[in-house]
Structure 1
Amino acid sequence: MMTFEQKAIELGCKIEPAKQVKGKPLKAVRTGNLVYTSGQLSIKNGIDIKGKVGEDLTIAEGQEAARQATLNCLSAIKTVIGSLDKITKIVKVLGMVNVSNDFNDSIYNDTSKVINGCSDLLYEIFGEAGEHARSAVGMTLPRNFAVEIEMIVEVK
């Protein structure tokens, strides 16, 4: 059976531990058997994914931004626990989407569709352990980042 780490690699996801800067908020914190991440932004290989979904970005581009923010969450978690294979359950996801003012006025636009980029990736990597409770909200994000994700995971 393939481990979570192997599955991530098979999907082309490179997840390295995050670098923590002293004196700055932690990227993730463990308490007991839970790890809470700070909000992780849509940044890929040092390049910011910015813009408002529905104005500057399509839903598909928003989903890719959500996917990248999710990988950054997993990187933060890996920093705390050492290996994704120690994750037993993705418990909760909070997905925040930077949306245009009229984004939610259309039946075709939905912040849930954007955050599906996160949920789908978690299920691809973790299977049933990746099924989770979730909130997906549209708002204006600081510095015009497209997506920000927070996670709570259960670990061994």
Structure 2
Amino acid sequence: MSIYDKLKDLGITLPPVATPAAAYVPFVKTGNLVFISGHIAKKDGKAWVGQLGKTMQTEEGKAAARAIAVDLMGTLHAAVGDLNNVKRIVKLMSLVNSTPDFTEQHLVTNGASELIGQVFGDKGAHARSAFGVAQIPMGACVEIELIAEV
């Protein structure tokens, strides 16, 4: 089954690449690697604002991370032309806007990791880091970047 069939079965339509909000590019290809710049969580087309442990709980943060995974795949599609050409999702790095006592950043990030695994199968098994941070641009609750091999 192709990646696009899996996305269709999941009811996912890939979005176009978002215009960067600052002085950077959405992705860089070098050798057989593609580095996707950090994508912030969006809800209804705007930054999904919130802080885990204060205004949001883990399950909502997980939904935000899943939404980011959809956006990341849209950018990866633009970078490589065909997601079936992806050999491996190498790594995700997740930043979670959270209070000092919130300790479930890893569970929030599972929202992205689980969807990547569903879509890419064994090729989606990736290394990962999840950090709690004091703030993310535009007050977003989560930001995630991705590295893929093609």
Q: Check whether TM > 0.5.
A: yes
Cα RMSD between the aligned structures? 1.6
Following TM superposition, by how much is the alpha carbon of 1:43 offset from its aligned partner in structure 2, in angstroms?
Answer: 1.3
2:124 aligned with 1:124: no
Where does structure 2 lack aligned partners over 5 or more consecutive residues? Answer: none
Q: How far apart are the structure 1 equivalents of 2:34 and 2:85?
A: 11
2:3 aligned with 1:4: yes
**Structure-1-length-normalised TM-score:** 0.88
Distance 1:56 1:73, change over 3 A: same
Following TM superposition, by how much is the alpha carbon of 1:15 offset from its aligned partner in structure 2, in angstroms?
Answer: 0.7
Structure-1 residue corresponding to 2:40: 41
* Alignment equivalent of 1:152, drawn from 144, 147, 150: 147
Amino acid at match of 1:112: H
When the two structures are aligned, how many residues end up with a matched partner?
148
Amino acid at match of 1:6: D
**Residues 49-60 of structure 1 mapped to structure 2, 5 A cutoff:** 49-60=48-59
The ranges of structure 1 where at least 4 consecutive aligned residues each deviate by more than 6 angstroms after the TM superposition are: none
Following TM superposition, by how much is the alpha carbon of 1:102 offset from its aligned partner in structure 2, in angstroms?
Answer: 2.0
Q: Is the 8 A contact 2:94 2:129 kept in 1?
A: yes
Amino acid at match of 1:135: S
Q: How far apart are the structure 2 equivalents of 1:19 and 1:53?
A: 25
State the identity as a percent: 36
**Structure-2-length-normalised TM-score:** 0.91
SS at match of 2:75: helix
Structure-1 residue corresponding to 2:16: 17
2:110 aligned with 1:113: no
